[in-house]
Structure 1
Amino acid sequence: MDTRQETAANAFQQKISRYLRYNEERKAKAMLFDAGQGLLLLKVLPYLLHCNYPDLPGFVDDADCPYGLHRYNPKTEFPQELFRRYFPNSTAIRADSPSSFTKKPCIHSLKTIGSIGTIAQSIISDCDYWVSIRKEELGEKGLSLLQKKCRIIEDWALKRGSEVHFFLVDIDQTKENNFESETSENSAGSAIKLLLKDELFRTHILVAGKMLLWWFIPPGLSENEYRNFVQNLVAHNRLCLHDFIDLGYLSDIPKAEIFGACLWQINKALDSPFKSVIKLAYLELLLRGETTTLPLFSNRIKCLVTYPEKLSAAEQSAMALAKIDPYILLARDIIAFYTQDRAGQKWAPLIRECLFLKTLEGVASQKNTRPGHDNHLKATMGMMQAWHLLPENFTHFLHFRDWKYKELVAFGAKVHDYLIETYKRLRWIFKSFSADTGLTITERDISILGRKLFTFYEQKDHKIDYIRSVSRDLMEQENLTIHITRHEGSFNYYAFQGQLDHDSMKSHIGSMIKREDNLIRLIVWLLVNGILSAKTQIHLTKNFVPIDLADIQKLTELLIKTFPIIHFSRISPANLLKRETVLRALVIVNFKKEPVKGAKTLKSIIVTENSYGEYFIQEYTTVIQLKNAMRTLLTQHYVSRWNNNLEIFIPAQDEQSYIKTLIEG
């Protein structure tokens, strides 16, 4: 090897060293935030993917089940002390036990994708793993068995408090920007392509297996130059391809990709709008570029980590490896873009607020704060202040969990206004594209998204409306008080934040959430919008109605059991392309406990959920009306107690048995 080759080889090794240090810094941040969760995500789960043993989670009783990680040493990555802590009763590491490992590992690389190890990580963050495999090595049966193994591990992790998802992705398909995940039912349609690859490249942590070759290829190359560079590395013995995973070229992105991605970001925003603000802002930043193809942020991260020589001297000195945070760096660029753009200046404060709220999510609740979370929050605030990213009113957001309901709704409305206005701006930009600009989103994609938007925003008779909240996860109340009043024979039902009594109501008018003339409609509305959950303590003020707190609590429990909260991004696309149908129903009879024998009326309510994610409430006044409605549910929608998708609730009362006989007779 001559001097030039030796110098080049040394430079290549230095880049590998820098990348590995950066990767360890990201892991350390995840561990610092929550050591228990960090160990599970970065140590335990990789080990379970690497082995297949009867008394360990993830075991598949089939000799053809593929498993194992390339370049993984279980003795160093998961020492016996750690093994015994998590699996004290397992015999897997006994000397007389058969080996739980394989000589032919099938997982080439295991990476997290998303917020883990960044300022955006929270105690409620789920963790997505990008599992790089080669389908041709597994075959159909092997792929199915590995999927099964992953699902078993996902279920085990969930029982330990961590939501994880393994996405099995073929290396060659990834190389060609084909992201058909083998475990994902929630594909983002045709819109994702390069943007998902961009997110993977700029946010991932290498948990185990082979390094991503992309880190060591200079930014700014064309596709041909990229391939020639790799071939040159191999030819001069500076690179052994077997030690790396090549997921292909990633450079600029066509504008045609962006609009489709914006549509799908709106789709995801229906569940947690404030999280989508940053992502949608990034897409607008890309779309506002003056060229037909746009540079992705992943190349910026690459320069900071492995190609600092491509940066200015000031940038090199200001950005140590430990300070590189993909989330905060992207936010800095977005804020700069909106601050400089006259039309977007009014949104810059909102983007700062959403960024800060994302860092607070799951951390700022004083009752749940752990030392690691507290340190994480202080470090994050220091970093955001240094980069001028803290919102002016950040102290107000520190007490977000104590906000009045009206403040939550007002902020949520502001977030939804941003999303809708941005969508309109982007749509106008998209219409200006020339006819030869390729559109990657399909008519099917647009139909699915349109149906979801109608589900959320459209008002219909008897439908329970969704509020434009910041996030249903953040609307949950620890305490709710139900207050009942009667005026001229009519009842009004109120829901208040907090634990109040009859005397304290007048001084807490600002804590009122909603008023209804129907108590069941009020409770269902609270549940559908995430305000009332299984964790909420319900209180009832003194009143003269024969409804007691136990009735409300039992009804709430049954509603929660019957109607799990809907995540719009997870509604089956197939359902949205079909005619709507009722999925499940709850019948509530004589909730007010009015006399029934000899009466002409029997008041009842049916709550239904349909395949589009909509909830409806229908009221009936006679037994015949109720029976006809139940017959329709059975004959048209196959909803009945025999099909386990119909529940009937009759509060405890003197005539409970008689009412039951009337309905069933």
Structure 2
Amino acid sequence: MRDTIATLLEKANQTNQHRKQLALQTMPAAVQQVFELLPSMLHYSHPCIPGFIEGDVPSGVCQFAPSARHGIYLQQHFLCSPEEPEHCEILGLYSMGSTATVGQTESSDLDIWVCHNTDLAPERVALLAEKCEQISSWAAHQGVELNFFMVQENQFKTGSISELSKDNCGSAQHLLLLDEFYRTALPLAGKQLVWFAVPSDLEQSYDSFVQQQFELGVFNHEQWLDLGGLDTIPAEEYFGSGLWQLYKGIDSPYKAVLKTMLMEAYSADYPKPSLLAVEAKRLMQQGKEFGLEQDAYYLMLNKVTQYLESIEDYARLDLVRRCFYLKNCECSPLPSDLLDVRSLTWQQRFMAKLVKQWEWSQQKIEHLNLRRAWKVQDVRLAHSELLDALMLSYRNLIRFARRNDISESINPEDIGILSRKLYAAFESLPGKVTLINPQISPDLSEANLSFIHVGKGRSCAEGWYLYKQPLTGLEIVGQPPLEHATYISKLLAWSYFNQLKTDQTQLSLHTHPGDLNLDTLNQFAEDLRRAFPVNVDAASNLALTRPCEIRHLGVFINLEKDPTANWGGKVIEFDAISTDVFSFGRDSDCLVGSVDLVYRNTWNEIRTLHFSGDSAVVDALTTILGKMHRDANIPEHIDVFCYSENLPEQIGANFKQLLVESIKSRLQPLDKRIVKTIVLGNEKYGLFIEDRGVSVKKLENGVEFYRQLSNNKLQRLPLQLNAGNTKKVPNVVEAHASEGLVQYFFENLTTGFNIYIVDEHNRIEMYQDFEGSKEELVQGINRFYTSSREQYGTRHEVVNFNLPQFYDIVAVDGQWQVESYRSS
């Protein structure tokens, strides 16, 4: 067996050396330099070398013997010749992902696993991670995206979980991550990986075989690193992995479609899936020369192809092939005629072979090659196809889990964070601005955008229509609209945040005689641009564990309806000292005819709303305040713009004052109910602000006012499911009640716990003295909500990402607070 293992190791090393040469061929000079210098930068700890930090930072990469070339690199680039470290504490450095695969492009990032001993002190691991962050920052200045992942030697054997982040899947996938690592791993420096030297037909007995070889001295811990085997993948991982790939699909949809369908294909083989890493190892150990059939990305494509052909889903198969082409030919598209393959790169030759097998037409290749020039129609079609495919794969994984009575291995914190990221990105809601261009095309800008209003009684729906053709000439005749909405602010916000509207775009407007004109529309567009940046930092995990809050609020007054527009030639009598724009002049007119809201929340959703008519002011206020739980933060920015022909500054200032006062009333601690009366025109309204929400009522007289107080008092009593006990709902629960979400609050008792459930309308139910597993309860609730909106038998089922939020009620310094629930 010693000779067999030596032979298998030699084959693995030969294959990896060949793959490394292919990887270097594809890399631009800057990436090559970073790639070659990585082992030295982690091996040494020297002030002249990027990444150096003070402290007891682990250094020394096992089995790494710097070559003369490495020494020249260090001398040339950093002017130093560092001494060898006394100890080697880094077990190995291995790249993974697209590097050295057909999926590698000139813009590909580098994903590096930094493997370390289990007994390395946590504070020293933190120092090593900090050093890696410093190296990543240095690489970024060279134009290279470099990601490091800290990996404990035994984390895949013990199930250790890293914190969820943009690039780290946390508990979402575990052994499936190891499967991806093994099929794409390229050793850079460090110990030999045991897995590659174990015969592929012994995968089911991997642990016992490896233990035996260590006992016999064939393997030793000085030269070999064992991350674990792939004898079986727990079915529980499929749900979390599917959720993770959907999350990655927000920014990289083409790759995510492939990987999500791979999870679906794996689940179809359950309970004994044929893992791609094992297949890649089998081909390598057969001694075949490295080619397309051994490429990790091709193996993934082939696995998905076989699965889709088996279920006769040829529509998704065509999409998968297009995704594969677009992902892999992003920087180097194939020439459409494919006549001279000698001038192609090695990846292009691989792709040319596949395209011929698929019998693609020249026109199809040309269309895909022009992706960087795609505009809104092509991008919207692509986005819809990608989203449908991702959701179908995800639903199939959910059904697989339910058929097999599988609990999720992903922990509740991670499933909550991921589901909210997906909710913010994918959930389609009235008034929400859907972002349609997740890195599909670099430029959706249009030279012209036309807004056309259609009134009642026409053949098409009433409202506003957006076109990309100018109104002059005949270009627009017979063209389909890009978008429709009942109010114009939604259309302009959609075109702005999807970057169709730029500073160079010419706007056109066609509407029936009214208050909105082209100058006002252009001013609104400019105000929107000044108030809201298109790109902002991603929502933090902390924000996603909390109810969403309004972060940036834009209020646009009298955009569509301006009560002052008809003042021309009239004598308007009013008191200039005590002007009340809500009940103005002799006739007590309300000078606010319409209110449009655009806001970005802490989950990075863009929402729009429109209110018009006599109650527009109170309707807008009630809606804004209703989206703030009592312990929410005040929005970071509140911008108010007014487009009135007369008194715009006064109207805007008065509205902002009323808005800010109302927000402060909503967010201040409440010992008693707050009632705010607002006079609009000749009508009086009561704004009732309570712990759990805000309501409004037109007040006809004093009797009506006190009747409403009584009604509100009755309505705020919580529903007690345990009728024999009248325990009061804790104030901290009411303070965190957030409209539009289902929230579960757990109050621990000596034995068991109380449960307070707040629904989407801030109604509260109570379960007292619940005994059982909190963990199982949370998982069961998540499974119920995940599948509760499915309608079997259709291809366009709805996926529910608005999963409940879970909290523990805890005492901190004598004060009751809520914390996001964490599994034990």
Q: State the TM-score, normalizing by the size of structure 2.
A: 0.63
**What are the within-5 Å matches in structure 2 for residues 248-287 of structure 1?**
248-287=228-267
Change (3 A) 1:76 1:456: same
Change (3 A) 1:584 1:210: farther
> What is the CA–CA distance in structure 1 between the aligned matches of 2:505 and 2:43, rounded to whole Å?
50
Residue 463 in structure 1 maps to residue 432 in structure 2: yes
SS for the counterpart of 2:231 is: coil
Aligned to 2:553: 585
Query: Which residue, 518, 527, 550 being the options, matches 1:545?
Result: 518
Aligned to 1:244: 224
Aligned to 1:607: 598
> What is the CA–CA distance in structure 2 between the aligned matches of 1:631 and 1:413, rounded to whole Å?
34
Alignment check: 8 A CA contact 1:31 1:37 kept: no
Tell me whether 645-654 or 17-26 shows the greater mean CA deviation.
645-654
> What is the CA–CA distance in structure 2 between the aligned matches of 1:602 and 1:101, rounded to whole Å?
76
SS for the counterpart of 1:378 is: helix
> What is the CA–CA distance in structure 2 between the aligned matches of 1:278 and 1:523, rounded to whole Å?
34
Residue 125 in structure 1 maps to residue 115 in structure 2: no
Q: State the identity as a percent.
A: 21
SS for the counterpart of 2:446 is: strand
Aligned to 1:235: 216
Change (3 A) 1:350 1:485: closer
Alignment check: 8 A CA contact 2:252 2:438 kept: yes
Aligned to 1:220: 201
Change (3 A) 1:235 1:211: same
SS for the counterpart of 2:187 is: strand
Residue 194 in structure 1 maps to residue 167 in structure 2: no
> What is the CA–CA distance in structure 2 between the aligned matches of 1:222 and 1:323, rounded to whole Å?
21
Equivalent AA in structure 2 for residue 479 of structure 1: S
Which structure has the highest helix share of the two? 1
Alignment check: 8 A CA contact 1:357 1:397 kept: yes
Query: Which residue, 543, 556, 576 being the options, matches 2:529?
Result: 556
Query: Which residue, 4, 24, 36 being the options, matches 2:29?
Result: 36
Query: Which residue, 440, 444, 447 being the options, matches 1:474?
Result: 440
Aligned to 2:283: 304
SS for the counterpart of 1:136 is: coil
Alignment check: 8 A CA contact 1:328 1:384 kept: no
Equivalent AA in structure 2 for residue 274 of structure 1: Y
> What is the CA–CA distance in structure 1 between the aligned matches of 2:368 and 2:10, rounded to whole Å?
39
Alignment check: 8 A CA contact 2:334 2:352 kept: no
Aligned to 2:366: 395
Unmatched runs of 5 consecutive residues or more in structure 2: 336-341, 456-461, 510-516, 573-580, 582-590, 658-824
Deviation at 1:32, TM superposition (A): 2.2
Deviation at 1:196, TM superposition (A): 0.6
Change (3 A) 1:426 1:522: same
CA deviation map 1:7-48 (0-9, x unaligned): x53x54443333223223333333222323531441234433
Deviation at 1:258, TM superposition (A): 2.6
Alignment check: 8 A CA contact 1:493 1:518 kept: no
Aligned to 1:414: 385
Residue 513 in structure 1 maps to residue 496 in structure 2: no
Aligned to 2:55: 63
Q: Tell me the number of residue pairs that the alignment of Structure 1 and Structure 2 aligns.
A: 610
Aligned to 1:369: none
Change (3 A) 1:391 1:426: farther
SS for the counterpart of 2:254 is: helix
Aligned to 2:798: none
> What is the CA–CA distance in structure 2 between the aligned matches of 1:560 and 1:200, rounded to whole Å?
38
Tell me whether 111-120 or 47-56 shows the greater mean CA deviation.
47-56
CA deviation map 1:61-110 (0-9, x unaligned): x23222343333445453435763xx4xx4x41x7xxx376332432111
CA deviation map 1:186-213 (0-9, x unaligned): 6545441210110011012222222311
Residue 175 in structure 1 maps to residue 148 in structure 2: no
Aligned to 1:352: 321
SS for the counterpart of 2:278 is: helix
> Which structure is larger by alpha-carbon Rg, 1 or 2?
2
> What is the CA–CA distance in structure 2 between the aligned matches of 1:551 and 1:78, rounded to whole Å?
58
Alignment check: 8 A CA contact 1:213 1:246 kept: yes
Tell me whether 17-26 or 224-233 shows the greater mean CA deviation.
224-233
> What is the CA–CA distance in structure 2 between the aligned matches of 1:345 and 1:557, rounded to whole Å?
47
Aligned to 1:27: 20
Deviation at 1:334, TM superposition (A): 2.0
Deviation at 1:117, TM superposition (A): 2.0
Change (3 A) 1:13 1:651: farther
Tell me whether 248-257 or 504-513 shows the greater mean CA deviation.
504-513
Change (3 A) 1:79 1:559: farther
Alignment check: 8 A CA contact 1:114 1:204 kept: yes
CA deviation map 1:247-304 (0-9, x unaligned): 1122232434334433433343344433222112222222222x52323110111122
Change (3 A) 1:274 1:183: closer
Change (3 A) 1:130 1:560: same
Alignment check: 8 A CA contact 1:352 1:390 kept: no
Aligned to 2:124: 142
Alignment check: 8 A CA contact 2:550 2:628 kept: no
Unmatched runs of 5 consecutive residues or more in structure 1: 310-315, 367-371
Change (3 A) 1:232 1:81: closer
> What is the CA–CA distance in structure 2 between the aligned matches of 1:588 and 1:159, rounded to whole Å?
41
Alignment check: 8 A CA contact 1:199 1:298 kept: yes
Higher relative contact order (CA 8 A, sep 6+): 1
Equivalent AA in structure 2 for residue 513 of structure 1: L
Equivalent AA in structure 1 for residue 286 of structure 2: P
> What is the CA–CA distance in structure 1 between the aligned matches of 2:49 and 2:142, rounded to whole Å?
14
Equivalent AA in structure 1 for residue 301 of structure 2: A
Alignment check: 8 A CA contact 1:215 1:302 kept: yes
Aligned to 1:110: 93
